[in-house]
Amino acid sequence: MGIEVMIYIYGAVCVSMIGFNVAYAILLRSSQPRLEKRTRRLTQAIQAQLARLEQGQPVSSRHLARLRRRLLQVKNLTAFDLALRPMVQKEPRISDYLAQLQPAILYLAVVYRKRENVQAAYFSYFLSRYVLPKHLPIQSLQAVLLEYMEKNNQLSVTDVIKAVGLCALEISFLRFILAWVRATALIGYRKKRHAWGQIQRKKIHFE
């Protein structure tokens, strides 16, 4: 009975892993349309500002304020990056647009340097693509980039403890359980491969 319980537990773990992978794939698939929708909206907003630049007008202050607010979320920053990429080579006024966007980018850089390492690293990549140093005070830009370079990218004590604990659990416990389950299952099969269990026939009552 103990072997059967271990096999059931092992099967439940496998099923739960498969279920997690399926749920994660569905989540990624459902998030893609939302990202595309945000990208289209930002593309339309950027094109409207490029049209203003063509007419000799500056970028709308309302547009800059909206970007300062919305790009605080990484999902919107990703959509903004995707909207800008095809325009960098095609739109002649994109450099003028980015030039007027630099104060907002500097503000976002100050905010993102306090975020977790993954978000800060992504914004560093964003800076490398769209920041225009000649349009910013060199002292401000150097100060922000220096803080990004000095940002602590090492693992915290909690992360190290979790990693060591999981490794110890796998090496000292999980691997031996799996090996024991496989060995006992093989031995049990070899012993009873010519034997059948008991089965009872019951009459089906049709209503």
Identify whether 155 is part of a domain: no
Number of domains composing the chain = 1
For residue 62, the model assigns a pLDDT of 92
Identify whether 114 is part of a domain: yes
What's the distance, CA 4 to chain centroid? 39
Identify whether 139 is part of a domain: yes
Identify whether 181 is part of a domain: no
Identify whether 191 is part of a domain: no
Identify whether 163 is part of a domain: no
What's the distance, CA 130 to chain centroid? 22
Per-residue pLDDT averaged across 20-36, rounded?
79
Alpha-carbon gap, residue 98 to 82, rounded angstroms: 15
DSSP string for 134-170: GGS-HHHHHHHHHHHHHS--SPPHHHHHHHHHHHHHI
Identify whether 13 is part of a domain: yes
Per-residue pLDDT averaged across 178-202, rounded?
70
Q: Which domain holds residue 34?
A: 2-150
The reply to whether the predicted model has a pTM over 0.85 is no
Choice between 148 and 96, residue whose per-residue pLDDT is larger: 96
For residue 128, the model assigns a pLDDT of 78
Identify whether 197 is part of a domain: no
